[in-house]
Chains A and B, each alone.
Chain A
């Protein structure tokens, strides 16, 4: 991979830092009137998602990271790996381990398209779409006629996720859920 100098640290650039692939979020030029210039950089570690602040002497460089985001369809899980297939017609498949799917695990549904971040060709993060539609498999019986809102109750979805839903929701209902907040949005 190419090397990138501090002045090329634009948001979105993927670089290697402490052996992990990281994405640049912000880059600020800091220079006292007298003295060394620095670049204060905010990065997200793509393996653990943590955001860190790092500072470099201006002009230092980092190796680029072989990181790629691909749209992939979820196929199935064999218990150890979660399998995805490319949607670009190549039918290429990858298996993501539990760590890579940890953020998406509650929202994995077959035939839905996910963003899979590949590092050196291997999946490191699976990001769900902002909204998914999932069926309710477990909840207290619905209160008929109560569509006005007010109270909520827990409902377990087909993926195992538990979300708060209005009282009128029944088993078998398909719900639209915001994956970023785990909020119920509405009936699909």
Chain B
């Protein structure tokens, strides 16, 4: 579904991605690991369409369509989802209004009618249970005053509502205690289907105990320098990233 070819991207004039190649197929879970500053979050943001990142070279196709040509909202409606590393607080925009608007934009895009109020609430209730999110949180403004863990759960909750074909989880484990981590991972696993896929971006291996990847890629200095099965994650956890640096000759 996703084919990334020789992707280069700059932020504030500095080249961060220096030729990424990646292919993700339905049903797969890919982990992208790497030391801080290697370009993991940049890759996630570029794929989601953040305008601060300038793609200078390469191409990305998503179900055969040119992803880079789409606005962020269109990418979402085409089935791409980014779980933010640092979800933004948006005071004054209620969770309910936000989700309803998003969901209906998705439905409109697919030529469906808007969801009836009752059906929407039912759907919300069902998905809330999946991530064990506090019922009160959906009565508040988007992420406002949420704890770190609540914010991450809220990301997965939104993912559950929007049912993307490809979810990119950007350091969803950072700052999460082990209980919250299990809940989040459980949510992600419950949403797994043969026709969707997940990219888990993480620094540590711990999340991968719960969301088991089919492929692990190591991103270093803007390139994927190593790809292997899930055993690579354990190796990285044990040995750190220094041996990778040596391997690529630094």
Our verdict on whether A and B bind, yes or no, reads no
Residues on A facing B (Cβ under 8 Å): none
Residues on B facing A (Cβ under 8 Å): none
